[in-house]
Amino acid sequence: MPAPKALAGVLVGLCCLAGPAMPQAADPLETIEAAEALCADQPDSIACATARLQSEALMVQVIAEAGNTRDRGAFIDLVRAVLTDPSPAIRTSAFYALAKLQPDAADTPAIMAALQDPASDVRGAAWAAAFLSPDPVARRVVRRVPERPESTGTEPSDPARAYDPAALGFALPEGAAYLSLTADRRNRFQLEFLTPEAAADVTGWAATLGPVVPLTDLLATDPAAAALALGFLDAESFGDPQVVRLPPEGDRPLRLVLIYGDLVFGQTGIAVVFAGGPALFPPDGVAEATVPDAKAPVDTAALARLSVLKPDAPGEESDLFVSILLADGYGAEDYLELYPEGAYAKEARAIVAGPRLILDDINYSDTDIITARFANLPVGATANLAILNASDAYATEASQFVSDTTVATQFDTEGRLAPGVYLLQAEVWSPDGGDPITLSRDFSITAGLAELATDKTDFAPGETITVRFSGMSGDDQDYISTALAGSENASYATYAYTGGLREGSVTLPAPTTPGDYELRAFFREDETVLRASLPITVLGTAAVAEVIEPQENVVPPAGEPAPDARATLALDKTIYAPGEKILVTYSGMFGDRYDYVTTVVAGAPWNAYLSYVYTEGALDGTATLPAPNERGTYEVRAFFKEDESILRGSATFEVR
């Protein structure tokens, strides 16, 4: 069966916890057990195949709901148990659930293995888990392969036939395996492979194809050819890239064969890059859907400028200048500051003086405002700015027409851009007419994270917690809460808004019940993304609402209060955080030692109460009461002589 029978009981519990999203018409345990029994008796029957599909569909849905709960403590072990299930559909559901439950370093080996899964849906789900993992090792995958794998179905495809071997024009070394994760790059005329063989041995094989030179040398001698493989200069993903340049031959165009250390997958990598031309997809008869064309816009002017590289220039200057060209001119001012008379000073000044699109940053959080401006455009120029999603075939996420290119343009994305890599592209029109010029800048979006700190981690029930925060979004609806450890994001015990501050401190009461809790930070009242958490512990006995008993030495007033006698109540404010102290100023009380003020849900019967305090026989004075822990509308009420038949005064407040 698709999943271990031992998990069935857990899955049943999950079905119950998942609520209305899960179908409750059939007992999931009975469904799974019935399928097992049927297939044990009739393993090759159509009925068994149907039962297996039903059981698998149930498992897929249950695992997906585990991820949707985002309850890591309850379901992370369940999801981990099925990451290597024989069913591609279950593996896919499991890795997407793992992404939602927040993977950690312990999950990285499974993620790395799944990134080479023959099923494209599994690779896509594993990529999502790597993208959301805090482990730097897993995150390097996203830098190595920034485009999310396209889905071609969950059925396994033979990695050796995921491309057309005849298109290569030569035989690969024995043991080279196609890197399925990069299948989307076939439509950009690029194939990538991994081999456990040492780089020196693979370089020896490459030497049988032609002269092997460092890629940086090819960049100096043939920049047009090297431009096909500039991505392999990323020193964080590729170690010591060597290249063989194969000239056009018959129907085959120019090819580059690269050998490098794949620093992400820990093996020797081989890549074959074509200057266009051949079809690299599987030959007829191999079932695999083609991948939609997702070519990035190419700045041909930037590639053409590679011809200015100078063989006699110092290596560090050339490396910096190449990075400037690849970044569409970003960093030219830095080059001039470091090398005012450097080998590329003239070219850097030309870049600074030319038309430019400038961003205020290149790495944004999903709460930031993106600010762009132009430089060195003719007076009266106009432009159309668009944000393109590099992870989604460069789909347009936002756009603006800029009528005045002398002022900055802002994109307030308000969290609408998911974490990933983006391109800001501008089409600029001169007031004199003619064809527009295209300017572009890459940038990335990451999930904005906050930081929380306290002076200690152990608190007494109801004790005031001072929480220092930084990195908040600055929205009025940002808040910090206490919640049971492992509970869903939307749950809370107490909370306090940060007042629109990005950095500062708030106070909130510790929960009244001992146990393990978390301080949590959320932006814009959005509980789908946890921005920070800090574990705390509440120790001791449960707190009891403060009750001040009447003093025995108070002399009660003579007689009874008049039926129409009323007290006046005033609160220090009308909105409180859960558990916050309410200062009540009262006057006109009867003066009996059993006079009291109380908090109660608005509209509740007069004899209801949450917390209360006696006024100790005072006619006028102040009292403090704790605000309720639940959000809502409440009242402070006054009664004389513990007589709840007549309401003597009230004041309304809210808990938010």
Comparing C-alpha atoms, which of 548, 549, 597 is closest to residue 571? 597
- Paired residues of 252 in beta bridges: 249
Q: Per the domain annotation, does 636 fall within a domain? A: yes
- Residues 222 and 261 placed together within one structural domain of the fold: yes
At CA 207, angle to CA 201 and CA 211, rounded to 5? 140
Cα distance between residue 373 and residue 400, in whole Å: 13
| Parallel/antiparallel/unpaired status of strands 649-655 and 575-576 | parallel
**Measuring CA to CA, how many Å separate 314 from each of 236, 237, 379?**
22, 24, 39
Strand partners, 613: 597
Residue 510 domain-assigned? yes
Say what angle helices 120-132 and 136-144 make with each other, to 10 degrees: 120
Most confident of 328-342, 523-537, 543-557: 523-537
**Which two three-digit tokens encode residue 625?**
């009461």
Q: For the domain that residue 473 is a member of, what is the CATH number?
A: 2.60.40.1930
Last residue of a domain, one of 144, 179, 197: 144
**Alpha-helical segments (H) within 175-299:** 199-207, 215-221, 223-226
- At 545, the pLDDT band (50, 70, 90 cuts) reads very low
The pLDDT value recorded for residue 29 is 64
Q: What is the mean pLDDT of residues 516-526?
A: 89
Highest mean pLDDT among 127-141, 266-280, 316-330, 618-632: 618-632
Q: Report d(CA 282, CA 288) in Å as an integer.
A: 7
Is the residue at 137 inside a domain?
yes
Burial of 179 (0-12, 13-18, 19+ CB in 10 A): buried
Q: What's the mean pLDDT when you consider all of the chain?
A: 78
Distance CA 602, CA 267 (A): 67
CA pair distance 621, 74, nearest whole angstrom: 50
State whether 100 and 27 are in the same domain.
yes
DSSP calls for 96-133: HHHHHT---GGGHHHHHHHTT-SSHHHHHHHHHHHHH-
Q: Round to whole Å and give the CA distance between 373 and 358.
A: 5
- Total domain count, the chain: 4
- Give the number of C-alpha atoms closer than 13 A to the C-alpha of residue 300, restricted to the C-beta side: 1
Domain match, 79 and 184 both: no
pTM: 0.41
C-alpha to C-alpha distance for 504 and 526, rounded to whole angstroms: 20
Q: Contact 558/601 with Cβ under 8 angstroms?
A: no
Q: Residues 409, 385: contact at Cβ < 8 Å?
A: yes
User: Is 260 a member of any domain?
Assistant: yes
Residue 481: pLDDT band with limits 50, 70, 90: very high
Examine the domain organization and report whether 14 and 125 are in the same domain.
yes
**136 shares a domain with 16:** yes
Q: Is pLDDT at 268 greater than 90 in this prediction?
A: yes
Asked if 173 and 191 touch (Cβ cutoff 8 Å), the reply is: no
Measured at the CA of 418, the angle between CA 417 and CA 422, to 5 degrees, comes to: 70
Does the pLDDT of residue 195 top 70, yes or no? yes
Confidence of residue 482 (pLDDT cuts 50, 70, 90): very high
What pairing do the DSSP bridges indicate for beta strands 363-365 and 267-274? Answer: unpaired
Query: CA nearest 525: which of 497, 504, 502, 484?
Result: 497
- Say how far apart CA 638 and CA 595 lie, in whole Å: 8
3 state DSSP class of 623: strand
Better-predicted residue by pLDDT, 61 or 196: 196
Within a 10 A sphere around the Cβ of 560, how many other Cβ atoms?
12
**Per-residue pLDDT, 468:** 93
Residues 32 and 136 grouped into a single domain: yes
- Contact between 385 and 345 (Cβ < 8 Å): no
| Three-state secondary-structure class, residue 157 | coil
How many CB atoms lie under 10 A from the CB of residue 586?
A: 23
CB 253 within 8 A of CB 275: yes
Give a yes or no: residue 381 inside a domain.
Answer: no
Q: Is residue 62 part of a domain?
A: yes
Cβ(125)–Cβ(91) under 8 Å? yes
Which residues on adjacent β-strands are paired with residue 637?
598, 650
User: E strands within 360-450?
Assistant: 363-365, 369-375, 382-389, 395-402, 409-412, 420-429, 437-446
- Looking at residues 414-434, what average pLDDT do you find? 79
From CA 423, how far away is CA 442, in angstroms rounded? Answer: 4
> Do 116 and 63 have their domain in common?
yes
Residues 215 and 246 in one domain: yes
- CA proximity to 76, closest of 486, 643, 365, 484: 486
Residues 10 and 135 in one domain: yes
140 and 163 together in one domain: no
Whole-angstrom distance, CA of residue 264 vs CA of residue 632: 51
Q: Residue 24 in contact with residue 15, Cβ under 8 Å?
A: yes
**Is the pLDDT confidence value at 214 over 80?**
yes
**Final residue of a structural domain among 538, 560, 584:** 538
Weakest mean pLDDT among 42-51, 251-260, 583-592? 42-51
Q: Do 22 and 62 form a contact (C-beta atoms < 8 A)?
A: yes
Q: Grade residue 553 by pLDDT with cuts at 50, 70 and 90.
A: low
| 508 belongs to a structural domain | yes
Percent of the chain with pLDDT over 90: 17
Residue count (the chain): 656
Does 619 share its domain with 651?
Answer: yes
* 166 and 126 within one domain: no
How far is residue 609 CA from its own chain's centroid?
Answer: 44
Q: Is the pLDDT score of 158 beyond 50?
A: no
For residues 222 and 203, give the distance between their C-alpha atoms in angstroms, rounded to a whole number.
Answer: 21
> Does pLDDT of 185 surpass 90?
no
In a domain, 308, yes or no: no
Tell me 164's DSSP state. -
**CB neighbours of 280 closer than 8 A, spacing ≥ 6?**
163, 164, 167, 186, 187, 189, 191, 274
Choose among 511, 401, 515: nearest CA to 462.
511
Domain boundaries, position 273: 159-283+291-295
DSSP notation for 1-65: --S-GGGHHHHHHHHHHHGGGS--SS-HHHHHHHHHHHHHH-TTSHHHHHHHHHHHHHHHHHHHH
Lowest mean pLDDT among 160-174, 374-388, 476-490, 593-607: 160-174
Helix 120-132 / helix 88-100 crossing angle, nearest 10 deg: 10
pLDDT of 546 > 90? The answer is no
**Whether 192 contacts 270, CB under 8 Å:** yes
State the pLDDT confidence band at 596, using cuts at 50, 70 and 90: very high
Last residue of a domain, one of 243, 275, 295: 295
Summarize pLDDT for 436-471 with one digit per residue, the tens. 788 888 787 877 788 899 999 999 888 889 999 988
User: Rounded to a whole number, what is the largest CA-CA distance in the chain?
Assistant: 116
**Residue whose entry in the numeric block shows the structure tokens 């007031």:** 431
